[in-house]
């Protein structure tokens, strides 16, 4: 079995069989279980090839043509290509593709627009805000004064009145819209309107939906937000990493906030892999993929609801769902364990109201494998059976293995 050029060349196996076994063991795990972690996907072998390329050797502090290191001729071309492709893909005047991760992109956005102590309005962590949206365990909660908005108890939808009221009373310097588990499209025009009313910057943390945006399956925050932060590894299907998009007027502030303010040398292999992913995301095939991701998530949501699980907001517009397993008599943590035993891999998440933990799942990886609506309906049944079986359902594990085996993520 071969995935990366390194394994293909068998170099790693000969030089470091111990590590080669770990990589192949992980490939086996990914191929024989179902990946429903909403933040994950399977990159193409072209993306993996760029990641495993000699660009990994190159130091390149600074930006194309203004590097602190010699020998940047080729990596400059790679970074310009990534930037141009990102700008074209999202209709942005400026793109920074150096952020090492989604969190680094958010840090850079704050660094570009805020000063320590500033007030920021973002989705509360309990409702689906990310750590970088004010967790006391994160730099954001330590350095800024975060105010959290939530969702309506009945509908699970963002509580617009609360957003407006908190903005008016707390006068934040920035408003952040974006979440780790909110399954619905965000109304960026609404957030822009509130931000304008109180003179705040609008930061869209589109880490999750950005791949759907690329494929035309979700609204684009670029025309509304001052800065869009994103990851490149979720639905977008690129390497693990981050990026920022903004208008020309903030370009210099954003670039300086990434380097030299919060990062050192750019990771050129990763930037090259981002360029590959942006190129792939600009194809009609990716547009079809993004819409299939959403169609699959909707069918999965319907199937899980039919099986008796609670589905937050009653469904989804995106790749992700938040579900409550309590109606089947299991709490979130137990449910995750039972599903893992059956080979269904996902995360726990906070549920909007009360203390119970729910489950967060996404369809990006399964859709890359080629699964469609029929498989989602089948999966909903396996999912519910794994929860009811108490985790020792051997038959469910075998059926999951069989389903995964019919859709190998990489050519064997």
Q: Does 180 bind ligand PLP (CB under 6 A)?
A: yes
Selection from 150, 281, 148 nearest residue 209 by Cα: 281
Position of tokens 């108890």?
153
- Say how far apart CA 349 and CA 331 lie, in whole Å: 11
Q: Does 130 bind ligand PLP (CB under 6 A)?
A: yes
* Closest residue to ligand PLP, based on beta-carbon distance: 102
Q: Does 96 bind ligand PLP (CB under 6 A)?
A: no
- The active-site residue out of 205, 280, 317, 399 is 205
- Distant-in-sequence, close-in-space partners of 340: CB < 8 Å, separation ≥ 6: none
Would you call 61 a catalytic residue per the annotation?
yes
Return the residue of 78, 86, 102, 317 that touches ligand PLP, per CB under 6 A.
Answer: 102
Exposed, middle or buried: residue 116 (CB in 10 Å: 0-12, 13-18, 19+)?
exposed
Q: Which is nearer to ligand PLP, 238 or 343 (CB)?
A: 238
- Say how far apart CA 161 and CA 165 lie, in whole Å: 6
**Choices 81-89, 97-105, 187-195, 286-294 (CB under 6 A): range interacting with ligand PLP:** 97-105
Hey, which residues does 66 pair with through a beta bridge?
63
- The active-site residue out of 33, 231, 318, 396 is 231
Would you call 205 a catalytic residue per the annotation?
yes
Return the residue of 205, 302, 375, 399 that touches ligand PLP, per CB under 6 A.
Answer: 205
Is the separation of the CB atoms in 234 and 36 below 8 Å?
no
DSSP 151: B
Q: Does 132 bind ligand PLP (CB under 6 A)?
A: yes
Q: How many of the other CB atoms lie within 10 Å of CB of 247? A: 15
Return the residue of 67, 94, 192, 208 that touches ligand PLP, per CB under 6 A.
Answer: 208
Q: Does 207 bind ligand PLP (CB under 6 A)?
A: yes
Which tokens hold the place of 403? 């389903």
Would you call 59 a catalytic residue per the annotation?
yes
**Choices 89-97, 101-109, 308-316, 337-345 (CB under 6 A): range interacting with ligand PLP:** 101-109
Q: Which is nearer to ligand PLP, 192 or 208 (CB)?
A: 208
* Contacts of ligand PLP in 39-58 (CB under 6 A): 39
* Contacts of ligand PLP in 234-263 (CB under 6 A): 242
* Pairing outcome for strands 347-350 and 357-362: antiparallel
- The active-site residue out of 61, 187, 331, 389 is 61
Would you call 168 a catalytic residue per the annotation?
no
Return the residue of 4, 44, 45, 101 that touches ligand PLP, per CB under 6 A.
Answer: 101
Report residue 88 CA to chain centroid gap. 20
- Say how far apart CA 177 and CA 153 lie, in whole Å: 19
Q: Does 85 bind ligand PLP (CB under 6 A)?
A: no
In terms of DSSP H, where are the helices of 172-247? 188-198, 210-214
**Choices 135-143, 200-208, 360-368, 397-405 (CB under 6 A): range interacting with ligand PLP:** 200-208
- The active-site residue out of 67, 234, 298, 338 is 234
* Contacts of ligand PLP in 22-41 (CB under 6 A): 39
Which tokens hold the place of 379? 């999966």
Would you call 399 a catalytic residue per the annotation?
no
Is the separation of the CB atoms in 175 and 168 below 8 Å?
no
Q: Which is nearer to ligand PLP, 181 or 368 (CB)?
A: 181
Q: Does 119 bind ligand PLP (CB under 6 A)?
A: no
- Say how far apart CA 141 and CA 125 lie, in whole Å: 11
- The active-site residue out of 240, 336, 338, 397 is 240
- Say how far apart CA 232 and CA 218 lie, in whole Å: 16
DSSP 187: -
Is the separation of the CB atoms in 357 and 348 below 8 Å?
yes
**Binding residues for ligand PLP, how many (CB under 6 A)?**
15
Catalytic residues: 59, 61, 205, 231, 234, 240
Give the interface with ligand PLP as residue ranges (CB under 6 A). Answer: 39, 101-103, 106, 130, 132, 178-180, 205, 207-208, 231, 242
């Amino acid at each position: 079995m071969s995935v990366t050029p390194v394994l293909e060349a068998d170099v790693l196996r000969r030089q470091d069989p111990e590590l080669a076994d770990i990589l192949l063991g992980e490939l086996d795990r990914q191929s024989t279980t179902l990946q429903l972690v909403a933040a994950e996907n399977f990159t193409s072998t072209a993306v993996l090839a760029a990641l495993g390329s000699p660009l990994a050797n190159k130091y390149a502090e600074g930006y194309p043509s203004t590097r602190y290191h010699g020998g940047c001729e080729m990596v400059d071309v790679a970074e310009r290509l990534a930037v141009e492709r990102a700008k074209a893909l999202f209709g942005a005047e400026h793109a920074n593709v150096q952020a090492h991760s989604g969190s680094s992109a958010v840090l850079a956005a704050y660094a570009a627009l805020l000063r320590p102590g500033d007030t920021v309005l973002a989705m509360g962590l309990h409702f689906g805000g990310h750590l970088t949206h004010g967790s006391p365990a994160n730099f954001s909660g330590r350095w800024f004064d975060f105010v959290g908005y939530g969702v309506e108890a009945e509908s699970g939808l963002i509580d617009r009145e609360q957003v407006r009221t908190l903005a008016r009373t707390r006068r934040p310097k920035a408003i952040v819209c974006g979440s780790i588990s909110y399954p619905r499209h965000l109304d960026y025009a609404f957030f822009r309107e509130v931000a304008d009313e109180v003179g705040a910057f609008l930061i869209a943390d589109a880490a999750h939906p950005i791949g759907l945006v690329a494929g035309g399956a979700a609204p684009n925050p670029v025309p509304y937000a001052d800065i869009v932060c994103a990851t490149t590894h979720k639905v977008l299907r690129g390497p693990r990493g981050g990026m920022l998009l903004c208008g020309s007027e903030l370009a210099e502030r954003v670039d300086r906030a990434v380097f030299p303010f919060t990062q050192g040398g750019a990771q050129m292999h990763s930037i090259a892999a981002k360029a590959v992913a942006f190129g792939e995301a600009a194809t009609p095939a990716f547009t079809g993929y993004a819409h299939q991701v959403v169609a699959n998530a909707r069918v999965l949501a319907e199937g899980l609801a039919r099986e008796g699980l609670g589905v937050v907001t009653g469904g989804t517009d995106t790749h992700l769902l938040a579900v409550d397993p309590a109606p089947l008599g299991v709490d979130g943590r137990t449910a995750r364990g039972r599903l893992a035993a059956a080979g269904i891999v996902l995360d726990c998440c906070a549920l909007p109201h009360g203390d119970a933990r729910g489950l967060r799942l996404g369809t990006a990886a399964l859709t890359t494998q080629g699964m469609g609506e029929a498989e989602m309906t089948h999966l909903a049944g396996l999912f519910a059976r794994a929860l009811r079986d108490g985790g020792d359902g051997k038959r469910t594990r075998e059926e999951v293995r069989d389903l995964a085996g019919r859709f190998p993520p990489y050519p064997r």
